[in-house]
Amino acid sequence: MKHALIGAMFAAALAAPSFANDYTIMAPASPGGGWDSTARTMQEVMQAEGISGSVQVTNVPGAGGTVGLAQFVASASGDPSQLIVGGYVMVGAILTNASPVSLADVTPIARLTGEAVAIVVPAASPIQDIKGLVDAMAADPGAVSWAGGSAGGVDHITVGLLAKAAGVDPTKIN
């Protein structure tokens, strides 16, 4: 279902006349992850819908996508046959890795996915609402343990923003 939705959205985004016959899509991560799956779904849809007869996916892992982003900016600038996928992890990675390139160096053409964030605790936790969470963070930021996705990703950014809004130094969060 997810792949069909992504495919339909991408086909609609590219309904205008295509600018190249062959495309390369960079997934700035190792094979098998979310960006790779998105790139390969785009590949399937572009070929199935006749947008392109040849679509290649390349994987360039490293540093939350910033290695691939830098390579893409350096080698694909102005080439309409070159595409890259990315997401919130890359936003954080650009900042945390002091990347020499940023999303300002590329042109977004379509939003294909979105991420929802939820904060949950074990049922037996003494924290039972957002006020209790904020109070616990304010009392001892390092005593509240968090789990989630990659450093610099949407989970990490959400916790940092929550801490900041609560007047807690985000660097003290565990």
Name the phi and psi angles at 141, rounded to 5.
-55, -40
* Alpha helices by DSSP H, 49-149: 66-76, 88-96, 130-139
* CB environment 76-110: b (16+ within 10 A), e (fewer): beeeebbbbbbbbbbbbbbeebebeeeeeebeeee
Q: What is the pLDDT of residues 106-133, one digit of tens each?
A: 999 999 888 789 999 999 999 999 999 9
Question: What percent of the chain stands above pLDDT 90?
Answer: 72
**99: pLDDT strictly greater than 60:** yes
**88: pLDDT strictly greater than 90:** no
81 with 14: CB under 8 angstroms? Answer: no
pLDDT band at 18 (very low <50, low <70, confident <90, very high): very low
**65: pLDDT strictly greater than 50:** yes
**pTM of this prediction?**
0.73
